[in-house]
Structure 1
Amino acid sequence: MADHTPATLSALLKSLSLTDDTVNHAEILKHAQNILIKNPSHPEALHTKVVALLHLDKFDEVVKTLEKTPLEEAKFELAYALYKSGKWEKAEEAARDARERARGEKMERGLRHVEAQAAHRAEHFGRAMEIYKSLIESGKEFAQNEDFDLRVNRNATEAQMVWKGEAMGKRKFTVDELSQFETTYNAACIHIARNEFPQGLMLLKKAQLLCEGMDLSPEDLKEEVAPVIAQQIYALLKMGNVAEVEKASQELDIKTVSDAALKYIASNNSLSHKSKIDPNPHLTLRLYEACVLRPLFQTTVKPYQFQSRILSRNRLSLDLQVGKYGEVKSEVAKSQDLARSAYEIAASCGGRSVKEILQSVKRTKNASTERKDDIALGLYATQLHMELRDITGAIETVEGLLEELSKKEGPEDKYPPALIGLLVALYRFEGRKKAPKKLDEAAQYWKDQPRPNESLILSSTLHSLTSHSQASLESAASFLTSINQSTTFLPPQILSAGIVAACAITKPELAASHLSSLPPIDQLLKGINVDELEAAGVYNPSKKRTADEVARGAKAKKLKSAPVKAKRVRKSMLPKDYIAGKEVDKERWLPLRDRSYYKPPKGGKKDKRRNVAQGGTQGGKVEEEKDQVMADMPVAKTGGGGGGGGGGQAKKKKKKGGKW
């Protein structure tokens, strides 16, 4: 092989690019390796080798090579290789360090791209959002469609922030954003992350139509549409639309999905749906291990933290259902999940009734002060109360948990929005019209935060509208007017209706300014004949039974008149003198003398004496006092001689040898 001079290597390196697929990178790698055998520290040859390895998707080898022989000119390649290897935090740090020493604006911008993508995968979404915003606001574009790609990545990061709970202020999507497949899909994901499923489904259908209108091969089109259908299935599952789920599932062939992450997420959702239709935990666990866990372990594309928690909890729930309590305990001991205590209790109480489990949970909570504010245990106890249909007990459990959390120092720990929302839902479920006191306290706290919890504040505002106090109405009006000016949190007509309701008494002039945005009464009453309704009067239900009621009554009467089949009794439970068909004596439990059919025995002197001993008489007239005295006297056995008794005793012959 001819020797390569530094000049020829530099020319070769300049001709290479990470986006150039026309070069035979395997041959280039071979030439670079031959040079490095002679001179291991040759910078141009080392850089050429790194670029060729990146093109061949050998990212781990790039990391090993550059860690063994650091190269200042290959900082970008190192950061990119770390990102593609799944070492996102290291990639973010490497890109940040290299950006500070980067030569040229183009290299610095490229490193910022890598840093943002690495921060996104490391779930540092706030940092990624800052980088994307600064790149978009710079107005510069160093590559084709760079601005469009930046907006797509920004929307994807925003969706992940909503999923994680790092809520952002709502914004309105532009017409340009909703005219492209990628941005429309990300907008749909943002709505779904906010539990706005109808809006999300509408945008998903639009994204699918936009994708089908693109110039793609059938294979590429199937691959691009797969995540759209998977999101549709998830949204329909959350809405409980089983028929549409079945229809959408037929369009998605999970076996042919090439994206590993999408494959195990879609498989999990499919098994969740099928397990409700055909609840067989043993079969579901086997399918879960084959379709979810195996692809999960075989890929470097790991799920996000909120997805990992759901997947691990699903596995623990299935293990509990099939009775693998020991495995659950060992997994919980290694887990850092907040719900580990609830699974630990569930595994310890395997096979017990709901009441017994609830008592065990209460004992665990009261055993130490650290467990009293355990949110997982509190929610588990609430769920057990609901299974026992004890709504009052569930409300008391949540209120007690909030009371314990209020003792903490941080205000954010005192008013968790999820627990406040659960308490409001339980109040509404039980029929309580008055809102819990904690709702107003929590709303007052979250109003002053940089990222206020809008749904919690809105719930407090709606309850304030039902109050007749001026302070509550003024507070509701203040909040509604502020969100009307700053965000599109609610549809304009609903906002205007709320402002009118809040300000009709306190600020009539402000209410009047919003009346024009409300639909007129004539439009609301369109199609309704008011005169006809008034003439018809109040509906008076007929006392005559309907056909269904008559049929139900006849069926109940038939069941009542039907002969009742006698319950079979085991032979060992029957008395020894039992005769089949013979009526059982109903007084068999009473003493013989107390039964209605008892007759004293008739007969000779022995019977008479026995009758006397049992409290009878000798036929003479007996006074009540004597009867009472005789009944109370103890019966004693006497000797052979004695006083006179009956006539038979006097006729007895004296014994021989007596004194007289």
Structure 2
Amino acid sequence: MAALLPSSLSSLLKKSSLDDHEQILSECDKVLKSARGSDLEMQHVKLVALLKLDRYEEAAKFFENNIGADLRKKVELEYAYALYKTGRLKEAADLSASLKSRGADHVEAQSRYRLEESIRTSELYKRIRSQKLDAEEFDLRVNQGAIDAQAQWLGHLNSGSIRRPGREDLEAFETAYNAACGCIARGEYAQAEMLLKRAKELCKHSEDLTDQQKAEELLPISVQQLFVLQSQGKMLEAETLAGEVNVQEASDISTRKVGLNNVLLTGPLINPFLAHRTFHSTPKIPQNDRLFTYQSIPLESNKSTIDLQTFKYDGVMSSNAKALKVHSVPSLSPEVLLASYFNTAAHAKNESGKAAIRNVLPELEKRPNDIGLIVTLVQMYVINGDVTSAVELVEQFFKRLDDSMADAGDDIRFNPMLVSLLTSLYTHRGQKGGVKHELAKAAAYWRTKPNAPTTLLTAAGVSLLESQNQEDAELASAIFSKLREQQPEDKATVAGYVASHAQDDEAVSGPDADKLTSTSELVRNINIDALENRGIPQSSNALTKAQLGPAKRRAAAEGGDPKPKRIRKSRLPKDYDENKKPDPERWLPMRDRSYYRPPKGKKKGKRDDRTQGGAVDESLNVDAKSAAVTVSTGTGGGANKKKKGKGKK
């Protein structure tokens, strides 16, 4: 068969052009059929032809079922590309990582990007860009912009490593669009709106695209622009744009799904059953076009919300039960939390107050470590005004985590979200000691860990600085020392470091103190003379006037008496006469008043032995005598001796 290969290949090339992949595939099938599939060269040509025709599923199956061991090593890159295009991203990334070629790096980078491994993807593109090829320079720059935007959405970039949009980003619609996505990830919607308008203009006037291609590129830009307008509250502009966008024309189902969601949220409120039908009108998104998590999570949330509005409680419970069963231990995964929130809402069945709590509490007995369920119950308690039960619920959950020895449990126990939840509840109840204690425990755990949450450590350090305890001061000093290593230019960190090292003269007067705003700059706009004249030392007369109301101050300034306070008639006696002088002896008992006259047959006189509050004859008080003796002896034991009961020895 090896002798037939040149002639068969020559015949194939004579009968087809280089772009006619359908004909190439047809001729390959004929040759392979006659050769019974043993023609290695024809197998390779057929695999490439299938890829050129976007028949990736067939290409992957052809490799797995027909390609022998002799050819597998030669066509692994083509197979990796087929895996990537069919959505088998993990397999594609692992296979291409084992290959050493520029093409394999491209396939791995694309696969890692779809897997949301932005750090690894960025490393791959740095390696690819180090091998300069002018033909790929623009595409690599576009891809790098997409990677940066994804990393910001996922929170994989710190504020210092974020690249801001530059002049070069405004040269093409692809780079402008990616720069706008980065602004959206940072919440800078005004700048994102400007960049999206620029991207639309560049796309409309592009000479490299056909009208059909322009329409396909403009649609996702418009969908993104619709999201930005909604985020800024520009609903009138959003409604106008939504009327111009036909999301059903989107070539990929993922864009169609996102666009339909945004259009649905832009229009006026409609019947929830109609919204449910519209939301589910798009086909299921295929595996090779699946959404990123920061897209799928909001969409899943909207889906469950519409299901609850249409009373599909059982459907919401069953759809979220799978995720909850897989993660039986405490989990802070966004997918698990979302499933728990809506599962709890479904059990509440649109009830509120105590009725909703009664419906949900049985689920807490089944899933005591379900964080989403606990957070939702806390919210229910707070809305119902029962903050005490909310605090007890979180404290009991933390105690269960403290009793567990797993490291993962500790990470969850001191997670910034949960710590802030408990401290917020403590603050609501005025428990400053509880806030300080909880922040101190969290700081003691995180300050020994890499990549510790800086906001949590800063809050703990500030709280500990307010304490008079020496141990708290030392912990605050250690916290701010660690923060200073992580972010040496942050003014809040530097201020905390200087304050926590107040006993150290070098820290107070050294380079760290120089980074802070000087005292002279802080008091530059303060008029010292005006402050002194307004009353830094105030006389007693000034304080009295300050305590009086405006009407009373005016009356005092004019030399008159302030207007007396009006007394309500309901508080006065029935026979009250304002012209009659009150009896000065009205506070004394009637028998003790000077004008009291006893009834006939009774004598007037004081009865000191019965009058409460009257004079007491100490000589008659036996207990007082014995007590005085006991104290004067200085033994200290007599006061605790019990008096024996009468008749006992």
TM-score (normalizing by structure 1):
0.64
**How far apart are residue 493 of structure 1 and its match?**
4.8
Runs of 5+ consecutive residues of structure 1 not aligned to the other structure: 100-104, 545-660
**Higher mean C-alpha deviation, range 311-320 or range 216-225:** 216-225
Counterpart check, 1:284 vs 2:272 = no
Tell me which residue corresponds to 2:369: 373
Asked whether the 8 Å contact 1:233–1:245 carries over to 2, the reply is no
**What is the percent sequence identity of the aligned residues?**
29
The secondary structure found in structure 2 opposite 1:347 is helix
Q: What one-letter code is carried by the residue in structure 2 that aligns with 1:423?
A: L
The secondary structure found in structure 2 opposite 1:323 is coil
Counterpart check, 1:45 vs 2:42 = yes
In structure 2, the CA distance between the partners of 1:113 and 1:254, relative to structure 1 (3 Å rule), is same
Tell me which residue corresponds to 2:56: 59
Tell me which residue corresponds to 1:78: 79
- Alpha-carbon separation, structure 2, partners of 1:536 and 1:221: 69
Q: What one-letter code is carried by the residue in structure 2 that aligns with 1:483?
A: Q
- Alpha-carbon separation, structure 2, partners of 1:399 and 1:267: 43
**How far apart are residue 123 of structure 1 and its match?**
4.2
Task: Spell out the pairing of 1:111-510 with structure 2 (5 A cutoff).
Answer: 111-125=104-118, 127-136=120-129, 139-142=130-133, 144-146=135-137, 149-150=139-140, 152-153=142-143, 156-157=146-147, 159-160=149-150, 163-164=153-154, 167-174=156-163, 179-180=168-169, 186=178, 189=181, 192-193=184-185, 196-198=186-188, 201-202=190-191, 205-206=194-195, 208-209=197-198, 212-213=201-202, 216=206, 224=217, 227=220, 230-231=223-224, 234=227, 241-242=232-233, 244-248=234-238, 250-251=240-241, 253=245, 255=247, 256-272=249-265, 278=269, 280-290=271-281, 294-297=282-285, 300-305=288-293, 307-336=295-324, 338-339=336-337, 340=339, 342-350=341-349, 352-365=351-364, 367=365, 371-408=367-404, 409-410=406-407, 411-428=410-427, 435=435, 437-467=437-467, 470-485=473-488, 492-503=490-501, 506-507=504-505, 509-510=507-508
Count of aligned residue pairs for this structure pair:
505
- Alpha-carbon separation, structure 2, partners of 1:406 and 1:226: 52
Q: Output the aligned Cα RMSD.
A: 4.3
- Alpha-carbon separation, structure 1, partners of 2:213 and 2:134: 24
In structure 2, the CA distance between the partners of 1:329 and 1:399, relative to structure 1 (3 Å rule), is same
**How far apart are residue 172 of structure 1 and its match?**
2.8
- Alpha-carbon separation, structure 1, partners of 2:4 and 2:419: 71
For residues 438-472 of structure 1, the C-alpha deviation after alignment (integer angstroms, 9 at most, x for no partner) is 33333333333343333333333443455555325
**Higher mean C-alpha deviation, range 53-62 or range 395-404:** 395-404
Asked whether the 8 Å contact 2:436–2:463 carries over to 1, the reply is no
**Higher mean C-alpha deviation, range 228-237 or range 375-384:** 228-237
Counterpart check, 1:35 vs 2:31 = yes
Q: What one-letter code is carried by the residue in structure 2 that aligns with 1:397?
A: L
**How far apart are residue 149 of structure 1 and its match?**
4.3
For residues 409-461 of structure 1, the C-alpha deviation after alignment (integer angstroms, 9 at most, x for no partner) is 12223222322233344445566656353333333333333433333333334
- Alpha-carbon separation, structure 1, partners of 2:91 and 2:549: 77
- Alpha-carbon separation, structure 2, partners of 1:396 and 1:94: 51
**How far apart are residue 58 of structure 1 and its match?**
1.5
- Alpha-carbon separation, structure 1, partners of 2:483 and 2:423: 20
In structure 2, the CA distance between the partners of 1:76 and 1:347, relative to structure 1 (3 Å rule), is same
For residues 292-320 of structure 1, the C-alpha deviation after alignment (integer angstroms, 9 at most, x for no partner) is xx244468411234543443343233222
In structure 2, the CA distance between the partners of 1:283 and 1:381, relative to structure 1 (3 Å rule), is same
In structure 2, the CA distance between the partners of 1:266 and 1:372, relative to structure 1 (3 Å rule), is same
- Alpha-carbon separation, structure 2, partners of 1:10 and 1:83: 32
Asked whether the 8 Å contact 1:477–1:499 carries over to 2, the reply is yes
**How far apart are residue 376 of structure 1 and its match?**
1.9
In structure 2, the CA distance between the partners of 1:396 and 1:323, relative to structure 1 (3 Å rule), is same
In structure 2, the CA distance between the partners of 1:183 and 1:28, relative to structure 1 (3 Å rule), is same
For residues 221-278 of structure 1, the C-alpha deviation after alignment (integer angstroms, 9 at most, x for no partner) is 665565556556556656xx42x3543454462525444323322433454566xx73
Asked whether the 8 Å contact 2:152–2:182 carries over to 1, the reply is yes
In structure 2, the CA distance between the partners of 1:61 and 1:363, relative to structure 1 (3 Å rule), is closer
Q: What one-letter code is carried by the residue in structure 2 that aligns with 1:261?
A: S
Tell me which residue corresponds to 1:597: none
- Alpha-carbon separation, structure 1, partners of 2:340 and 2:192: 40
Q: Which has the higher contact order (CA 8 A, sep 6+)?
A: 1
- Alpha-carbon separation, structure 2, partners of 1:229 and 1:300: 23
Q: What one-letter code is carried by the residue in structure 2 that aligns with 1:362?
A: L
Asked whether the 8 Å contact 1:116–1:132 carries over to 2, the reply is yes
The secondary structure found in structure 1 opposite 2:451 is coil
Q: What one-letter code is carried by the residue in structure 2 that aligns with 1:470?
A: A
**Higher mean C-alpha deviation, range 512-521 or range 373-382:** 512-521
Asked whether the 8 Å contact 1:464–1:472 carries over to 2, the reply is yes
1:24 is matched with which residue: 3, 20, 25? 20
- Alpha-carbon separation, structure 2, partners of 1:279 and 1:400: 43
Tell me which residue corresponds to 1:653: none
In structure 2, the CA distance between the partners of 1:474 and 1:351, relative to structure 1 (3 Å rule), is closer
In structure 2, the CA distance between the partners of 1:471 and 1:237, relative to structure 1 (3 Å rule), is farther
Asked whether the 8 Å contact 1:178–1:184 carries over to 2, the reply is no
- Alpha-carbon separation, structure 2, partners of 1:140 and 1:351: 60
For residues 603-627 of structure 1, the C-alpha deviation after alignment (integer angstroms, 9 at most, x for no partner) is xxxxxxxxxxxxxxxxxxxxxxxxx
- Alpha-carbon separation, structure 2, partners of 1:400 and 1:236: 43
Runs of 5+ consecutive residues of structure 2 not aligned to the other structure: 325-334, 537-545, 552-649
Asked whether the 8 Å contact 2:200–2:221 carries over to 1, the reply is no
**How far apart are residue 110 of structure 1 and its match?**
0.9
The secondary structure found in structure 1 opposite 2:135 is coil
- Alpha-carbon separation, structure 1, partners of 2:379 and 2:22: 60
Asked whether the 8 Å contact 1:465–1:472 carries over to 2, the reply is no
**Higher mean C-alpha deviation, range 29-38 or range 178-187:** 178-187
**Higher mean C-alpha deviation, range 32-41 or range 214-223:** 214-223
- Alpha-carbon separation, structure 1, partners of 2:459 and 2:105: 41
**Higher mean C-alpha deviation, range 520-529 or range 372-381:** 520-529
**How far apart are residue 55 of structure 1 and its match?**
2.0
Asked whether the 8 Å contact 1:271–1:284 carries over to 2, the reply is yes
- Alpha-carbon separation, structure 2, partners of 1:228 and 1:407: 51
- Alpha-carbon separation, structure 1, partners of 2:215 and 2:274: 30
**How far apart are residue 84 of structure 1 and its match?**
1.0
**How far apart are residue 324 of structure 1 and its match?**
1.7
For residues 546-579 of structure 1, the C-alpha deviation after alignment (integer angstroms, 9 at most, x for no partner) is xxxxxxxxxxxxxxxxxxxxxxxxxxxxxxxxxx
Tell me which residue corresponds to 1:628: none
**Higher mean C-alpha deviation, range 377-386 or range 465-474:** 465-474
In structure 2, the CA distance between the partners of 1:176 and 1:231, relative to structure 1 (3 Å rule), is closer
